[in-house]
Structure 1
Amino acid sequence: MLITHVVVGIIGVSASYALLMAILKKKPSLWFMKLSALIAFLSYLVSWGSGGYYYVLRYGAEVKPVIKAGDYPWAHGIFMESKEHIFLFIPVLIFTTLFILWTHGHDVLANKDLKRALAFLVFIIFLLALFVTLSGIIVSDSAG
């Protein structure tokens, strides 16, 4: 489950980045934007589910004690706790983006201010997802 969590999470981050780059184009493809947002949303849901499954079955009992007893016990307290709470926003934000694209996509393409606002939202999603990914790397590395 950990591999699923990591790989699908990276797909979600990549799809968020692709969506951001598509929005920033002069003539973005609405179809590509919708597809990228859908892939990101589904990826984040699968990563959320598989990560939660791994956390309940293995992390809490096997990995967390190793981190807490190791050289970097703060890695769990700071990065894992932050990761757990920040991630809760990502599926909601990307679903909001997906909803906007599916219901008002043509308006977004036609209105520079709406396009800029959506680009800002997707930029925030991408930054949060990148932080969560890097936090996972730090926590995994501190487990040895």
Structure 2
Amino acid sequence: MAMLIRGLWEEKGSSDTRLLEEPLLSDAFTVVGRSEAFTGRGRREHVVPRLVVIQHCHALLEGEKRAGRSPAETDKLMAEFIQQTVKIVLISPEEARRLDSAAGHGWRQQMPPGWAIGDDVFHRLHAAGIAWTPDPVVD
């Protein structure tokens, strides 16, 4: 995945958040649980929005020379970051509205204020009051 992001970034100066979805990144590896309100209808919610993940990968690429990293080292950092942050929890439609809407939290494509890379990846769900449990089938 890191190499695909690098390839697009080098070719076009950007990449696409859809790289972090099926079929390139299987739900078998990313779905980690479901909210207590999820009843089979709802949304697959990336706990860290895909845009945040891609932007951080781009920042790693942009800072590669300045940091004195080799392309292989940067790709490894991106792969580790993707593995740590690309997790999906199934949530209800009401929870999705609460996360997304300006009347709710407005966190559709961002993390809550104060969150930083390396912090709890589930912070956005906790801060929005979304209780969830790990899915033993996919854990």
Task: Confirm or deny a common fold (TM above 0.5).
Answer: no
- TM-score, with structure 1 as normaliser: 0.32
TM-score of the superposition, structure 2-length normalised? 0.33
Higher Rg of the two aligned structures: 1
Structure number having the greater strand percentage: 2
